[in-house]
Amino acid sequence: MPPKCEGDPRSLQTGEILVPGLVTEDARLDPRNVYAASKLSQEHPAASWARAGAGTAIALRYHNVYGPRMPRDTPYAGVASLFRSALARGEAPRVFEGGAQRRSFIHVRDVAAANIAAMESPGQSTESRPESG
């Protein structure tokens, strides 16, 4: 059953209620496409290099970055910009994969703060998935 009115929290494809969910920090890494696998594969040599005592490696996994002056309606625009543009036109945002996917958003100011915190960290190798919540 498709949504009946604007603001109805159901998938356009399946009609099922959309329920937010979170991926925890201890979740198993499971890249779902080539792009995600390539990003993860870049972390392995860096981690090996750090374990060999050559230095420190910190991987920050940003997802959907948004903020002021963000480009809209371009092939490279983030999902937050695409959702916002659709809403500004009075349209429902397009949701794919039956609405089952989850999105993590982070404001550009939080990206800057996370980068600074990583640079100032006390020499620990780590990975993190910063988000604005």
Name the H helices within the chain: 34-51, 79-88, 108-119
Q: pLDDT tens digits, residue range 87-118?
A: 889 998 877 766 666 667 788 899 899 889 88
- Report the predicted TM-score, pTM, of the whole model to 2 decimal places: 0.57
Chain length of the chain: 133
Tokens matching residue 7: 């603001």
> Can you tell me which residue has the tokens 């550009």?
108
d(CA 7, CA 16): 14
d(CA 60, CA 63): 10
Provide the percentage of residues in the chain whose pLDDT is more than 90. Answer: 5
Tokens matching residue 8: 């109805």
Confidence band for 19, pLDDT divided at 50, 70 and 90: low
